[in-house]
Copies of this chain bind each other. A is one copy, B any other.
Amino acid sequence: MAAASPHSRMSDVADRAGVSLSTVSRALRGAPGVAPEVRERVQRAAAELSYVVSRNASGLVTGATGRVAVLVPFLQPWFFGVALAGIGTRLRQADLDMLVYQVGDMRGVEEYLGELPLRRNVDAVIALSLDLDEREIAVLDEVGVPVVFVSQRIPERASVFIDNAAAARSATRHLLNLGHTSIAFVQSADSTGFEWSSAERVNGYREAMAEAGVRPQVLVGESGPRGGALAAGELLSRAEPPTAIFAESDDVAMGVLRVLQRSGLAVPEVMSVLGFDNHDMAELLDLSTVAQPVSEMGAVAARLAVEAVADPAAVPHVELATNLLVRGSTAGPRAASRLVGGNE
């Protein structure tokens, strides 16, 4: 293989081969989905330009920088603290340091990726609940930094995730099996970084409702407890409020619970409430929810990052199990008139 040339870039290879950056990336990594003749053309272009695939690999096998970057949209939400704890602990075991970047939104991601080629200060990147597009992933490829996705499944990329759709489907069936026929789903529209899991959860809810032949009711609103409180207000002011509310996340469910409590509407007698996540406050609030293993997800992500440094061509997908935790906030529906009559 030709010697490394610091001047040839992946984009030069793409130009010469007449393909996109992501195709170059896939072809050189040996990922599936690239036609043999395209792969050959890319490899020839890379050889002619002295662009060396193992430029990436060479530094990486040894863990050149000893650091892994974790990109998070925000640091405040409960989810990220728990996931970072899992990542950090596992990285320490591999003697790797954890750099944390709070990118905030996609502009922050662009800024980070824009600086990365100059910095080259990490061996791998862990993207925590962030939807990177093909172009952004190509930047990471160009710098030779493998990326691991957490909490979302990305084809041809190392990732660790849960089956959000299946979990939401089961959870919805739990409410249907209790006898509920009017079940609202509260979705957050502005939950930056969580778009993938949010969409999957809605899908699972819709599937279970369709299976049961029951009309779905999806409310799209703000994220967090505030979003849940607003959604509860809207649902309670309907001519026929639902008898159960399935909230996209426990954060949202907490806002729902609060409004019901203030209104004197008993949970689960008047209204069942179901969350998703098993937030560290969920047990205290006796909230039925879908538990996902956030800390383990972080630990697996760190392991995948370590493995990716050794072998960037490997793109394992790890699916972790969820559990429906039935607590005191879900039960069978009572007569709809009770909602009007209140909490006697």
Question: Could you tell me which A residues sit within 8 Å of B by CB distance?
Answer: 66-67, 74-78, 80-82, 84-85, 88-89, 92, 97-102, 121, 225, 229, 254-255, 258, 261, 280-281, 284-285
Quick check: B98 and A99 within 8 Å, CB to CB? yes
Quick check: B97 and A99 within 8 Å, CB to CB? yes
Minimum CB distance partner of A97 in chain B: B99
Contact A85 B98, CB 8 Å, known A254-B284, A280-B76, A284-B254: no
Quick check: B102 and A99 within 8 Å, CB to CB? no
Quick check: B88 and A101 within 8 Å, CB to CB? yes
- This chain's copy number in the assembly: 2
CA distance A261 to B121 in the complex (A): 51
Select A74's contact among B75, B80, B85, B225, beta carbons within 8 Å: B85
Minimum CB distance partner of A328 in chain B: B262
Quick check: B75 and A81 within 8 Å, CB to CB? yes
CA distance A99 to B281 in the complex (A): 28
Contact A102 B121, CB 8 Å, known A225-B284, A258-B285, A284-B225: no
Select A100's contact among B84, B229, B258, B261, beta carbons within 8 Å: B84
Quick check: A81 and B76 within 8 Å, CB to CB? yes
Quick check: A88 and B76 within 8 Å, CB to CB? no
Minimum CB distance partner of A259 in chain B: B284
Q: A103 to chain B: closest CB distance in Å?
A: 10
CA distance A101 to B77 in the complex (A): 19
A76: chain B residues at CB < 8 Å are: 78, 81-82, 85, 280
A67: chain B residues at CB < 8 Å are: 99
Select A258's contact among B97, B99, B284, beta carbons within 8 Å: B284
Contact A84 B75, CB 8 Å, known A254-B281, A284-B225: yes
CA distance A121 to B97 in the complex (A): 10
CA distance A225 to B78 in the complex (A): 15
A254: chain B residues at CB < 8 Å are: 281, 284
A85: chain B residues at CB < 8 Å are: 74-76, 102
A281: chain B residues at CB < 8 Å are: 225, 254, 281
Minimum CB distance partner of A298 in chain B: B75
Minimum CB distance partner of A108 in chain B: B92
A89: chain B residues at CB < 8 Å are: 102
Quick check: B97 and A98 within 8 Å, CB to CB? no
Q: A61 to chain B: closest CB distance in Å?
A: 21
A88: chain B residues at CB < 8 Å are: 75, 100-102
Given contacts A77-B81, A88-B100, A97-B101, 8 further A-B contacts (CB under 8 A): A66-B121, A76-B81, A76-B85, A78-B78, A80-B81, A84-B100, A254-B281, A258-B284
Quick check: B102 and A100 within 8 Å, CB to CB? no
A97: chain B residues at CB < 8 Å are: 99, 101, 121
CA distance A178 to B74 in the complex (A): 40
A280: chain B residues at CB < 8 Å are: 76
Q: A150 to chain B: closest CB distance in Å?
A: 15
CA distance A85 to B75 in the complex (A): 6
Q: A263 to chain B: closest CB distance in Å?
A: 13
CA distance A92 to B284 in the complex (A): 37
